[in-house]
Chain A
Amino acid sequence: GAVVSQHPSRVICKSGTSVKIECRSLDFQATTMFWYRQFPKQSLMLMATSNEGSKATYEQGVEKDKFLINHASLTLSTLTVTSAHPEDSSFYICSASPGAGQGNPDTQYFGPGTRLTVL
C-alpha cells in the first residue's frame, strides 16, 4: 500500500514552453502533498506544500507564478512549470502522507520523480 505515482517520468521541452507534472496517490487519499526539487548530487529541496481545496504554500525563494500547483482532488496534485528555461531543468519529486485512518499517517511516501530537461 501507500503508492505514489508521477507522470511523466521524463520530459524534454523547448525553452519557453510549459510542462505539467502529475502526482497521484494510488491507494490512499492525501489532503496534503509536497513538491521537491533535486539537482544532481544534491539533496531534496522543498518547493511547496500542495493543499487540497486551497492555495499551495510556497517556500521562500520559489516563484509561485513560475511553478503553478493545483491540488485538484484528494489523490491528485499537479505542478506546472511555466515558460520553462534551461535553469529549470531538474528532478522533481512529489510526496504524500496517508493521513489519519489510512495506515501510518506520519510517513511520507515519495513518487518516482520526473526528470525535466529544458533545451
Chain B
Amino acid sequence: SQELEQSPQSLIVQEGKNLTINCTSSKTLYGLYWYKQKYGEGLIFLMMLQKGGEEKSHEKITAKLDEKKQQSSLHITASQPSHAGIYLCGADHAGGTSYGKLTFGQGTILTVHP
C-alpha cells in the first residue's frame, strides 16, 4: 500500500468553485509539503507544514496539517483556470535522520473549466 495517499486522483470543477484535496500518511509526519506541477514541468513549492494543527495560506490556497490523523488538506477557494495542474503532497517520514528525503503521493489532477 502507498505510504502517502492522495484523494481524489482527479478533480474537475467549474471556475469559482471551492475544492479540497486530501493527503493521508501511513507513517508519522515530520513535515508535509504541497507542490503544484504542470505536466512535463518542474514542481512549484506551495507550502510546508510541520506542526500539528498548523494552517498556512497563500493567495486563495490554504493547507492544514492534522498531525493526529497524519493527514493534510489543501483547499482552494474560488478556483480559477490558473489553478489547474497536478497537486502533489510530499512527506518527510524520516525527520532528522535523512534530511530532505521526501515521499510523494500519486498526485491529484485538477481541471478548472471557465
Residues of A in contact with B (beta carbons under 8 Å apart): 4, 6, 32, 34, 36, 42-46, 49, 91, 93, 95, 97, 104, 106-113, 115
Known contacts A42-B106, A43-B88, A110-B35; is-contact A93 B43 (Cβ 8 Å): yes
Q: Is the CB of B99 within 8 A of A32?
A: yes
Q: Min CB distance, B2 to chain A, in Å?
A: 9
Contact B40 A113 (CB under 8 A): yes
Is the beta-carbon distance between A109 and B31 smaller than 8 angstroms?
Answer: no
Measured CB to CB, the residues of B under 8 A from A are 31, 33, 35, 40-45, 48, 50, 88, 90, 98-107
Q: Would you call B100 and A97 a contact (CB within 8 A)? A: yes
How many contacts between A and B, using CB within 8 angstroms?
59
- B90 contacts across to A, CB distance below 8 A: 44, 108
Decide if A110 touches B45 in the complex (CB within 8 Å).
yes
What residue of chain A has the Cβ atom nearest to residue B35's Cβ?
A: A110
Given A34-B100, A43-B88, A49-B101, A112 contacting B107 (CB threshold 8 A): no
| Docked complex Cα distance between A6 and B41 (Å) | 11
